[in-house]
Structure formats: C-alpha cells, structure tokens
Structure 1
Amino acid sequence: MNSRPVNYQKQTLFKITWPIFIEIALRMAMGIIATLMLGRFSDAAAAGVGVGNQLLSFFILVFNVTSIGATILIGQNLGAKQFHHADQIAHSVFFMNFWFGIMISIIVVLFGEHFLGLFQLKGTIFQDGRLFIHICGASLFLESLSLAMSAILRSHGFTKEVMIITVLMDLISVLGNIVATNGPLGLPVTGVSGVAWAMVVARLFAVTILFLVIWRKLNIRFSYKDCYHARRKDIRDLLSIGIPSAGEMLSYQLSQLIITALVVRIGSDTLAARVYIMNITMICYLFSVSVAQGTELMIARYIGGRQSQQAYKRGIKTVLIAVSSSILVSLIVACSGTFILGLFTTTSAIISIGIPILWINLVTEPGRAINIVLMGALKSAGDVRFPVVIGVISMWSIAVGLSYLLGIHFGLGLIGIWLAQGADEWFRGLFALKRWQSQPWKHLQSFVLCKTISK
C-alpha cells in the first residue's frame, strides 16, 4: 500500500497529458469507427446506434459521480502526502461503482426500450437502437468498474498504463466491428449485434487488465469484501464532490437527449447528419479534453499542497493552449468537410446538411475549450457547485430553449440548433473564466480541509 509512482508531484503537464490524449483519442476513435462502419452498412443503423449510444452515455455519467470524486480526493491526499487515506478512497470508490454499475445495468436492460421510445424513433432505426442498448446495457457494470480503476491509476500518475489498456481495448472493438459489418473470410455479417458484442468483449478485457495493473503498480488488491464494505466518511466525501461535479455533465447529457428529440422532429436525414457531425467534431475538442484532464490532476495536487498560485497560473496557461488548438483543428475539419462527411455516407442530402455545421463549429469550439478546461479546473480546486449552477441555467435556457426557438420555431433546422449550442458553450466558458480569475478556492471549505489534512 506504500508503493507510489516516483516523483508523482513533479510530473509536467506534457508527461501527464500525452497518454491521456492518446487514450481519449482512441476512445473517441472507437465510437467514430463504429459509426463510420455502420454508416457504410446502413444510415438507419448508424442513426439508431447513435441515439442508443447517447442514451447509454447518459447512464455512464452516473458512474462519473464517484470517479470524479476519487480523482480529486486521491489527488489532494497525494499532494498532502496522506498515502494511506488515498488507498482507502480507492477501495471505497470500487465499492460504490460496483453497485452503481449493477443497478444501472439492470435498469437499462429492463427499461431501455421504453427510454428509446421517448425519442419517437420508428422502423429500422428504432429496432437497431433497441438491439444495441440491450446488449451494451447489460455490460455497463464493466464500464463502471473500468472508470473507477482508471481514475485511481490516473490520480497516481499512471496515465500511460491506462492509455495502453485503452489501445488494446479499442483494437478488440475495431476488429469486432470489421467482422460485424464486413464479414471477412466468409464470416456472417452481424451488423449492429456484432458491433455491440465487440464492445462488451473489449470492456471485459479492460476491467481484467486494470485489476492486474493496480495490484502490481499500487499494491492495492480488490476482493469480494470490497463489494460489501466502504468507509462511510469516504462515501460522504466522494458524493459531496462527485454529485455536484458530475451534475454538470448529467445535465449536459440530458439536455442533449432533449435536443436529439427535437432533431428527430426535423427528419431522418437531419438526425443522421447530427450523429455524423457529433462524431467528427470530437476531433476538434479532443486536445482540449486531454489537457483539461491533465490540468485537473495537477491542480488537485497543487491545492492539496497549498500551492494556490501555481494552480491559478496552470489553469490560465492551459486555456491558451486549448483555445489555440481548437481553432486550428476546427479550421482544418471545416475545410475538409466534404471529404470527411463522404467517409461516413454517400447520401448527398446528409452531406449538404452537414457542411455548414462544420463552419459554424469553427466559432463554437474556442468557447467550448474555455468551458472544458476551466470548469474542470474549478472542480479540482474544490469549487464544485459553481459549474453545476451555471451549467444547468445555460444548458436549459440557451442550449435547449434556443435550439427549439431557432431550429424548430424559426425553421433553421440543424443550423439553428448548432448556433444555440455554440451560444451555450461561450456563455459557460466566459463565466468560468471570470470565476477562475477570482481564485475562489481561497475561500472554500475544501481548501481549508486540505490544509487540515496536511497537518
């Protein structure tokens, strides 16, 4: 339990971030490749799985309640050199995610069809979406354990190990997708079913390897006893940080589900275009998400070690890096829009809907970069409620409200919806910037708690 990564406090942002970047890139690639292959197989299958994936992503965010709390608390305890307590938190987050995962898996399997029915999908799109969420939903408990163990490893500085596991997991998934949609060597083409089962196998592999890595690197051994026991104080601390922290993301996913329902009202081509565009634009904010996560780990340690000025400077520097990269990548994607969309579909109506959206996205991404970096930084510094309050207000009044007004009422379609989402990102990003500049952790209870722990 006393084994620790060498010089974990002295790691640079680059050293922490590059494995996170590759890991997130591969996670995104898994979804993009699945969508790409299904788009070639059938636009209906791609749309159905896209909606199903969005629904599952909402439930997966429940697991982030404890995973986010674990990342922050373990990081702060490492910064304060409270290694034994950091290990106790690791066992507690395993306990909580085990039961969260079991409960959510049961709910999705039993009621997934009814959840999907809320989108008023019809025909083949509904059937493909239902098949996908039934198979993948049953394996959500594996995703829950994977997120918990990945958070533990990242908090200790083992971002490279998590990246390698993700690489292998994605290779399994991609190979499964190829078999499912192309049927090489005379194998049957299983389509949506095969893509879903490939994801299940990949998750099972990841959980198994994560168990072994945590055992070898941290000397932390999870057992069946961890499924029955956790310290009540750890549970309270994890939830007190995790619920507000994950609340912003839960609100975002729920608002996106509502916006998807609005898109369904416009038409199937628009729905397919949105699914493809959402996958493409992941590339634009990939780097922002990566450096944001690396920055969160560093800031948690700075706050735990009472180095508030270093935490502030790190946040500002990361914002400048993230904004610059998002503008550059978004410009490249917009200029290559016809080619990129052509990889997903040959339907000209879908391509014509998507091209203007990629140019609008060029304006959206800088605001998203500020939002992603500083909202995460505020959580790591202990300011966990502000992102939720601003997020809920903005997502529902601007993202959802303006999407309906521009996209449906004024008939601007997907263009109106994307303009509304851009306004939401900028609104939250600018508020987060103003909040960060005020350095709120100097007056927060969590900062006082960190000083108490370090004594």
Structure 2
Amino acid sequence: MTPAAATGSTIRPRLTLFALTWPIFIELALHVLTGTVDTFMVSHVSDAAVAALGVSNHMLGLLMTLFNVVGTGAAVVIGQLLGARDERGVHHAATVALLANAVVGLVVSAVLALQAPTFLGWMGLPPALLPDGVTFLTLVGGGLAAVAVSLTLSAILRAHGYTRDGMWVTLGVNVLNIVGNLVLVFGHFGLPALGVLGVAISTLVSRIVGMLVLFHLLHRRLGLRPRIAELRGHWRGHMANVLHIGAPSAGENLSWFAMFTLVTTFTAQLGATALAAQTYVMQAVGLMVIFSQSIGAGTEILIARQVGAGRREAAYRQLLHSLRLGVLVATALAAAMAVGGRAFVGAFSADPAVIALAASVLVWSLVLEPGRVFNLVVINALRAAGDARFPLWVGLLSTWGIAAPLAWLFGLHFGWGLVGIWWALSIDEWVRGLAMLARWRSRAWVGKALVPPPLAAQPA
C-alpha cells in the first residue's frame, strides 16, 4: 500500500505543464508580495525603519540560498524516485531532506538570534538604525528554521505534483501577515503600535503557521511521517544525491548574485539617476522573470519523473516544448514592457531623467529576457536529469568571464552607461543559454540519472 492510499488520499494532481505551472507562478508572485507588504507597512513608520528592514532582509535572502540547497536537491531526487516507482525511496529521501534542513535551520536561527548585532555591523548598518535592525533580525532570523522546513515540505509536495498546496499556503501566510501587520504595526484593537517589532512578530507567526499547515498537508496528501529510525543504512546515499543537485545549483545562483552585486557598483559610479533607473528596471524584470521561473519549475517536475522512469525521449521533447512556450511568453512580456516602460517607471518616479533611462533599458530587455528563459528553463531540465554541474561551470565562466568584464567595459570604459551594462548582461544570458541548449541537444545528460529506472520502463 502506498502512503497516499494508507491515508485515504486518492485524488492525484494532473501532471501537465499548465496544471503544474500556474499555481507555481501565483506562489512566486505571492512571495514577492510578502516583502513588498512589509516594506510598505514599515514605510509608514519611518524611512530609517525601511533601511534597517532592507539590510536585514538582504542577509536573510542570502541564507535562503543555503536552505534551497536541500530543497532543490530533494525535489529532483524525489521526482526521479517517483518516476522509478520507488515509494520507499521517496519516503527515505523526504525524511533525510526534512531532517537536514531542520538541523541547518535551527543552527542558523540560533546564531542569528544570538549574534544579530554582529552580523548587522558587518553589513555596515549605521549605529542609529541598529535597534530596529537587531529587533527584526533577532526575531525573523531566529525563526528561519520554520522557513527551512517549509521550503523542504513545499519541495516534497511540489515533486508529487501538488503545486496548488504551496500556492494556497503562501496565500494564507500573506493574508495572516497583512492582518498581523495592520494590528501590530499601527496598534489596533487596543494594542500598542509596535512598528518594526510588529512586522517581525507578524512575519514570524505567519511563517510558523504556514510550516504547520504544510506538515498537515504532507501527511494528508502523502501519508508521510518522517521517522529517524527508518534511515539506518539509507541516509548517506540520499543525502549525497540531494547535495549532488542542490550544491551546484546554489553555487550557480550565488555566483550570479555576486556578479550582479559587482555590476551594481559599476552602476553606482554612473550616478544616482542610473542607480534609481536600475532599481526600477529590476522591479519590472522581477515581474517578467516569475513567468519563466514557473515554467522552469513545472518542467523540472515533469522531466525528473520522466528521467526516473527511463523515458528519456519524452524528457527530451518536454524540454523543447517548454522552451518554445517560455520564449514566446518572455518575448511577449518584454515587448509589452518595452512599449509601456515609461508608464511603468512613471508609477514609481517623477524624475524625467530616471524615467527616460529606465525606459530605454527596458527596450533592450526585449533582447535580454528571451535569452534568460534558456537559462531558467534548460538549467532546470538539466538539473532534473541529474546533470547539475555543467550549468555551474558554464555559469562561473560566463558571469565572470563575460558579464562582469563587459559590463565594466561597455558601461564605464566606453561610456555607454546603464544601457551598455544591459548589453553586457544580454550577451552573458545568451551565451549561457545557448550553451545549455547545446548540452541538452547533445544528450550528454543521458545516463546521469540518480536512480535506476523501473524494470518495466519503456522508451517513449
């Protein structure tokens, strides 16, 4: 009897790209909304409070990458095990991933709760902002264990095709966070106005509630009850597979963020107008990228199962279908943003120079964004097939050998400004993207599956 059958859960999710992708898109959009809501609420307290919150969230964002090592790896490993019809292996891999992220999360939470002033000092937070920063980082950082576990629970459910669960839980967490902010930040129902402390409490409580709901769904949907005793003789192999996928993925993401941080220092040298324009452009890019990320995540779920089942040809065709769809959507969105760029940026800024510069960069995004799709979608497919190291090495070579030096050359040395920097980023995206597509077409990923296919597997 499968775990799902044992609990009476007979409803199976539809495993089509659209059915998997649209809930992921909404979930990702809601995650973006969470930070926006917190910032909006705190902006009514003071600009200093917003600055303290921003620095703290930057550090928390970096730590999320650490937790995603296990979450990303677990999703692929479990997907391949599901394709191979190894129910016992699925249970063991899920348990290993949950325990690993729980332990890491608890350690990180304890360190942040005890050493928040030290870390914020390293981040260069001015002394006047330290009280608010320490308050937020101590509470929210101290509760990161809940985030680490939630990421893993969501990855397990997503690998099984239950992408709507993550969407609904994230929606609930957002609603709870908004209500908590309204009550605690501004002091309603007879409670004192707590400002940043109110945001921290609301964020912490909503995340813990979200984690508990995900635990309930894990048992209800899959009948999984993690037990340490069952892992004897199994945990090393599963943990090695999880890290084989998750570690290169995290390394690739960290490398890109480090490169973009360096490029932002180039933008800063161009002046306040360029820096403001880049900020607004990245807001627009964030909205466009969510579509590509959701298509990539849905593709990863499908291909992991197909590879685990030994259906390599089906996996090969699935990527090409997803890529065509992703490029079409990204091009349409970039075209819309290129046409409406002035209106979009004008909603944030009244400075004509900022609006003009940002709008010109958004026109160039019509070239950049389709190239980004190749990376977001094809890299997810390679990862799902077990080929996780190739994207890391290509990413390191391209971001540091092409993006960073060309951004300096075009933006500063040749004096082409922010548009020149975007040219450099576009070249990097297309070089990496075409390299990923060539890797997929070469079928070098065949044979890199983490689990053996079932005996009944037939090529399709």
Q: Tell me the TM-score normalised to structure 1 length.
A: 0.86
Deviation at 1:144, TM superposition (A): 0.7
Q: Please say if 1:82 is aligned against 2:83.
A: no
> Offset at 1:410?
4.7
3-state SS of paired residue (2:173): helix
Q: Residues 330 and 29 of structure 1: is their aligned pair in 2 closer, same or farther, counting only changes over 3 Å?
A: farther
Amino acid at match of 1:162: G
SS in 1 for 2:358: helix
* 1:197, distance to aligned residue in structure 2 (A): 3.7
For residue 294 of structure 2, the aligned residue among 290, 293, 296 is 290
For residues 77-113 of structure 1, give each alpha carbon's deviation from its aligned partner in whole angstroms, at most 9, with x where no partner exists: 1111110110111110011001111233344456666
- Give the Cα–Cα distance (whole angstroms) in 1 for the partners of residues 217 and 232 of structure 2: 23
Structure 1's unaligned 5+ residue stretches are: none
- Which residue type is aligned with residue 369 of structure 2? E
Greater displacement, 217-226 / 75-84: 217-226
In structure 2, relative to structure 1, the CA distance for the partners of 1:282 and 1:289 (3 Å cut) is same
Q: Cα distance 1:132–1:155, how it changes in 2: closer, same or farther (>3 A)?
A: same
* Partner residue in 1 for 2:281: 277
Q: CA deviation at 1:118?
A: 6.1
**2-structure distance, mates of 1:326, 1:110:** 44
Identify which of 385, 402, 408 aligns with 1:404.
Answer: 408
1:333 aligned partner: 337
**Residues 83, 453 of structure 2: 8 Å contact kept:** no
2:449 aligns to what?
446
| CA distance in structure 1 between the aligned counterparts of 2:375 and 2:146, rounded to whole angstroms | 30
1:238 pairs with 2:242: yes
Paired residue for 1:95?
A: 99
Matched, 1:358 2:362: yes
**Structure 1 residues 155-166: aligned runs within 5 Å:** 155-166=159-170
SS in 2 for 1:450: coil
Q: Residue 205 of structure 1 aligns with which residue?
A: 209
Question: What is the identity, as a one-letter code, of the residue corresponding to 2:97?
Answer: V
1:3 maps to which residue? 4
> How far is the alpha carbon of 1:192 from its aligned partner?
4.7
Q: Give the superposition deviation at 1:185.
A: 7.8
The amino acid of 2:399's aligned partner reads M
Look up the SS of the partner of 2:225 in the other structure: coil
In the superposition, relative to structure 1, how do residues 80 and 236 fare at CA in structure 2: closer, same or farther (>3 Å)?
Answer: same
Answer whether contact 1:382 1:446 (CA < 8 A) is retained. yes
- Do the aligned partners of residues 389 and 264 (structure 1) sit closer, same or farther apart at CA in structure 2, a change above 3 Å counting? same
* Amino acid in structure 1 at the alignment position of 2:252: E
Verify the 8 A CA contact 1:35 1:276 in the aligned structure 2.
no
Residue 373 (structure 1) aligned with residue 377 (structure 2): yes
Q: Which moved more, 1:294-303 or 1:18-27?
A: 18-27
Q: Which has the larger radius of gyration?
A: 2
> Are 2:62 and 1:58 aligned?
yes
CA contact (8 A) 2:92 2:231 kept: no
Rounded Cα–Cα distance in structure 1 between residues aligned with 2:421 and 2:113: 31
Take 1:360 and 1:342, find their aligned partners in 2: how far apart are those partners? 18
Distance 2:125 2:111 in 1: 20
In structure 2, the partner of 1:395 is: 399
Residue 63 of structure 1: how far off its partner (Å): 1.0
Instruction: Return 5+ residue gaps in structure 2 as ranges.
Output: none
Structure 1 residues 345-354 or 319-328, which shifts more? 345-354
Distance in 1, matches of 2:277 and 2:129, equals: 14
SS at match of 1:382: coil
Counting helix residues as a fraction of each chain, which structure ranks higher?
1
| 1:284-333 CA distance string (max 9 Å, x none) | 12111111111101001111111111101110111111111112222223
Aligned alpha-carbon RMSD (Å)? 3.5
Seen in structure 2, the aligned counterparts of structure 1 residues 337 and 35 have a Cα distance that, compared at 3 Å, is: farther
* Structure 2 residue identity aligned to 1:15: A
CA contact (8 A) 2:183 2:189 kept: no
In structure 1, C-alpha distance between the alignment counterparts of 2:278 and 2:131, rounded to whole Å: 19
